[in-house]
Amino acid sequence: MTSRLANIIWTSLVRSIIEYGCEIWGEREFVDFEKLQLEMGRRILRCGSRMTEEVVRGELGWERQKARRDEMRLRYWAKIVRMGDERIVKCIYKASRSRLEREEEEGEIKTKTWCKYTRELMKQLHLEEQWQTEQVGPEEEWNELIREKLHEREQIKWRTQCLVRPKLRTYSKLKKELRTEPFLQLYHRGGIPELVKIRGGSNRLRIEQGRYVKEAVEDRVCLYCNNDEIEDEYHFMVDCKVYEDLREVMWQKCEETTGFSRAGASREEQLNALIGDRFQPEEDEDKDSGKSKKYRKLMKAVMSFITTSMDRRRRLQGDLEGVKCTRVHTAHLPRSQP
């Protein structure tokens, strides 16, 4: 199943059910809904249970479910405001709003009403004027406005969480906007999950695996190239001599496609050119544009390198483990008598 199809299943069959009626009940924090979204995202990306929430949402461009409920609420509020005064829903809304204003004047809010949360939400999004005047404009303009405000709020929160997590030290340099990654539109069954794992830090490299055995960072060196360098994303993608022949093929395609030269470029610039946002097309750019085509060609080359190199690494790891097992077995054999 492609990531696009899985995303359609999530939005049309799953999300639509858990959001039913959220315009009037959605102010609470529903942890189970967030967990459900996160689990679905991991399945779409095929990245494993250890992948952090920030990477899952970042790669898919997903905001929290809380943002969706807030958006539906504000859309519904504008719909109520546009209703005629004779409508029952409008009468209830006006009574609730009057009650809120009266309790505020008395200095004590006795009830957490629908209007109270809606007003606080609009204040948080800097829409106090619209709350006071109830001037919401045409439906399309209002929906676009609140979508922009909520996305800004969610992106700030997501970006802050990325920056404070040590595990995402590399990811926060590669991705700075909460948007769907364009490489997810490609079909590369093995390449997409491997690329996500390299970008997101939850991979088979020692920088990550050493975390689970409480190994000091400086001890998580590469076991295959004997350069005494920490086996992290930079080492795997840019430096390790074990994959040099495969890397040369990738860089040749990269330079032919983008014109980028690694000569004189820093490790960070090289990594960003390969798996970061340097050559990504704009979010609204046509998929048949020259930039989009070049990006797809680049990512196919990168995914091919990652999957092939990981296969080589697995074989080398198997050889090392086989040698260790042989040594252990030989050590316990009885010595021959002279």
What CA–CA distance (Å, rounded) separates 143 from 124?
A: 17
Q: How confident is the model at residue 85 (pLDDT cuts 50, 70, 90)?
A: very high
What CA–CA distance (Å, rounded) separates 333 from 338?
A: 15
Q: Would the pLDDT of 10 be above 90?
A: no
- Residues facing 230 on adjacent strands: 221
Q: What is the DSSP letter of 230?
A: B
What CA–CA distance (Å, rounded) separates 183 from 193?
A: 11
User: Is pLDDT larger for residue 272 or for residue 6?
Assistant: 272
Average of per-residue pLDDT across 301-322: 92
pLDDT of 332? 44
Instruction: Give CA 232 to chain center in angstroms.
Output: 20
pLDDT of 333? 45
pLDDT of 104? 85
pLDDT of 329? 44
Q: Would the pLDDT of 1 be above 60?
A: no
Summarize pLDDT for 117-170 with one digit per residue, the tens.
999 999 999 999 999 999 999 999 999 999 999 999 999 999 999 999 989 999
pLDDT of 325? 56
Summarize pLDDT for 36-73 with one digit per residue, the tens.
999 999 999 999 899 999 999 999 999 999 999 999 99
pLDDT of 331? 45
CA angle 71, 105, 122 (to 5 degrees): 15
Selection from 187, 236, 220, 147 nearest residue 4 by Cα: 187
Phi-psi region for residue 113, left (φ > 0), alpha (ψ -120 to 50) or beta? Answer: beta
Q: Are 295 and 280 contacting, i.e. CB atoms less than 8 angstroms apart?
A: yes
Listing DSSP states for 275-292 in one string gives HSSTTPPPTTS-TTSHHH
Summarize pLDDT for 171-190 with one digit per residue, the tens.
999 999 999 999 998 888 89
Give Cβ neighbours of residue 333 (< 8 Å, ≥ 6 apart).
none
pLDDT of 283? 87
pLDDT of 107? 81
Q: Would the pLDDT of 336 be above 60?
A: no
pLDDT of 324? 59
pLDDT of 313? 95
Query: What is the rounded average pLDDT for all residues in the chain?
Result: 91
Residue 230 to residues 78, 79, 201, 205, 225, Cα–Cα distance (Å): 55, 57, 14, 9, 11
Core vs surface per residue 119-141: b (16+ CB within 10 A) or e: bebbeebebeebbeeeebeeeee
Is 44 exposed, middle or buried, given 0-12, 13-18 or 19+ CB atoms closer than 10 A? buried
As a whole number of Å, the end-to-end CA separation of the chain is 65
Percent of the chain scoring above 90 in pLDDT:
77
Q: How confident is the model at residue 338 (pLDDT cuts 50, 70, 90)?
A: very low
What CA–CA distance (Å, rounded) separates 134 from 312?
A: 63
pLDDT of 222? 95
Summarize pLDDT for 227-281 with one digit per residue, the tens.
899 999 999 999 999 999 999 999 999 999 999 999 989 999 999 999 999 999 9
pLDDT of 13? 84
Instruction: Give CA 166 to chain center in angstroms.
Output: 16
Helix/strand/coil percent split, the chain, to 5: 70, 0, 30
Percent of the chain scoring above 70 in pLDDT:
94
Give Cβ neighbours of residue 44 (< 8 Å, ≥ 6 apart).
3, 6, 7, 10, 60
